[in-house]
Amino acid sequence: MAFDEMKFKDIMGEFSATTEMIREVASNFRKDLQLGLKDVSSSSMRMLKSYVGLPTGKETGEFLALDFGGTNVRVIRYRLEGEGHSKIIRHVAEPLIVAGEYDYVGKGSTAEQMFDFLAKLIDDTIEGDHETKFYLGHTFSFPSSQDDLNNAKLIIWTKEFATSGVEGEVVNDLLTAALKRRGINNVEPVAVINDTVAVLLSAAYKNSDIYVGSIYATGHNTCYLEPSIHDPKGVGNGGMILNLECGNFMKLTPNRFDTAFDLKSEKPGEQRFEKMVSGRYMCELFGMAIAELLDEEGKHYDGLTAVDMSMIISDISENLEKVSEVIESKVGHKLEVDDLKKIRELASAIVIRSARLVTASYVGIIWQRAGDGEIVPQHVAVDGSVYEKMPLVQENIKEALGELLGKDAEKVDTILDNGGSGLGAAIAAAMAVQ
C-alpha cells in the first residue's frame, strides 16, 4: 500500500513545534515557576522541596546508593574521594520485570514484594556483610513529598508503575522494614532524592556552573537550584534544589495523539508533558500515528519501543532495510521504500518535537533564574537514554537553545552526566551525615 499523502501531511503537522510554539512553552513554563514559588498550588508542577542544596565537592567516604525509578534497579557501593572523584567498589543491577518470571511494578505486585527485592539487591551489594555500618542514599524517582532529606512519601506513581501499598507511604520506612526482615540492621538509609536531584548533585560535585539537572529517558523531569529558599532542615550550599516534577507541566497544547493516548494511559490527566516527550511515551504516539497511516486506527503494536524509533531514525541506507525489518516484526506489515521513508520522517518528527519542548522547559528555568539580570554561563546536566542515545536529540536541543536564547545561547549548553542518578545518591548520603 502507499500511505495517503494528505493523511501523512496532517500527521506530520500535528508533530511540528515551530519557534513561536516553543517560545510560548518556555514563557509559560517560566510563569508557572513564578506562580509556584509564590503558592505551589497555583502551578501545574509540584515543585517539591528536596532539602538539599549543592555539594562542595569535598564530600568523601564510602556510601551505598540505591537507584530506583526505571526498568532496572541498581545498588552501588561508592567511594567518594573528593575533588569530584569517585570509584565504584561494587555494582549490582537487576530488572524489575522479567517476563514469565516476576513483575514488581505491575498491578498485581505489592510493596512488600518490591521492597524485599530491593533489600535482596542491597544484601548482594554488601556481600552479606551484616556487621559493617553503611549509610545509604536512595534515588527514588517518583513525585514524593518531603519534610527533610530522609523522609519522602510517594505522592503518586508515574511512568505506568502500579505496585500496591506504596502511594502515600514513607519509602525509606518500607525499605528499612524490608532490610530488617532480611536481618540487615547495619544499613541505614539517610537520604532520599529524586533522580533529577541526583544528576544535579553528581554534576555539581565534578564541575562548576551547574544549577539545573534533568532526566531525559523513560520518564522526563528537571530540577534546579532555587537560591531564595532556605530551610534549617536542609543540607548543602546556597538555597534548595526544587524537584519540579515538570512531567506534569500542563500549560501547553497537546495534539490529538497526545490527547487520545492520555485517555487510555494508566493515569489519565497526569504527566501530560512527560507523555509528549519521554521515551516511555514517544513510541506510543509513534505507534498510534502508524496505525492511522495503515488504516488500523486504534490498534496497539506491542513491543514497539523508543529503541526501535532510534534504529529507524539511524537507518540512512537507500533501501531502509533496518526500518523495514522493525516495521515487519513489530507492526506486522511489509512496506514499500516510499512508505518506509515516511515512517522514518514520522519517527524523526516525534523526536524533534520532544527535544524542542524539553529545551523550552530548560530555557524557562534559565530565564527564571536570571530574573532581570544577565544569564550566567552554565551547563544543564542531563542523564538518560533518550538524551544519550536517541539520534537527533542533542543537535535539536542545541538548535532550539539558539532559537530561544539568541546570543546568550553561547553561555548555555547541555552535558551528559552518565550514571548521575547513582552517584548523586551517594553524595546526598555523604551530605546528610557529614
Q: How far is the CB of 334 from ligand GLC (least distance, A)?
A: 36
**Does position 142 bind ligand GLC by CB under 6 A?**
yes
From residue 86, how far is each of 383, 402, 405 by CA, in Å? Answer: 18, 34, 35
Decide: 286 and 305 in contact? Cβ < 8 Å. no
One of 77, 153, 159, 272 touching ligand GLC (CB under 6 A): 159
Nearer to ligand GLC, 40 or 409 (CB): 40
Q: How far is the CB of 274 from ligand GLC (least distance, A)?
A: 5
Dist CA 44 CA 94 (whole Å): 34
What is the grid cell recorded at 171? Answer: 519509602
Q: List, in sequence order, every residue forming a beta bridge with 225; answer none if it has no partner.
A: 241
Helix-, strand-, coil-residue percentages of the chain, each rounded to 5: 45, 20, 35
Enumerate residues 6+ apart whose C-beta is below 8 A from 94. 72, 73, 117, 121
Kind of pairing between the strands at 240-243 and 220-226? antiparallel
Site string for ligand GLC, 327-366 (x = CB under 6 A): ----------------------------------------
Q: How far is the CB of 70 from ligand GLC (least distance, A)?
A: 6
**Does position 163 bind ligand GLC by CB under 6 A?**
no
Site string for ligand GLC, 395-434 (x = CB under 6 A): ----------------------------------------
One of 67, 262, 274, 308 touching ligand GLC (CB under 6 A): 274
**Does position 383 bind ligand GLC by CB under 6 A?**
no
One of 146, 172, 194, 361 touching ligand GLC (CB under 6 A): 194
**Does position 221 bind ligand GLC by CB under 6 A?**
yes
Kind of pairing between the strands at 72-82 and 85-95? antiparallel
Residues 65-104 that bind ligand GLC (CB under 6 A): 69
One of 139, 158, 172, 414 touching ligand GLC (CB under 6 A): 158
Dist CA 229 CA 239 (whole Å): 5
Kind of pairing between the strands at 220-226 and 412-416? unpaired
Dist CA 331 CA 201 (whole Å): 41
Chain contacts with ligand GLC (rule: CB under 6 A): 69, 141-143, 158-159, 194-196, 215, 219-221, 245, 247, 274
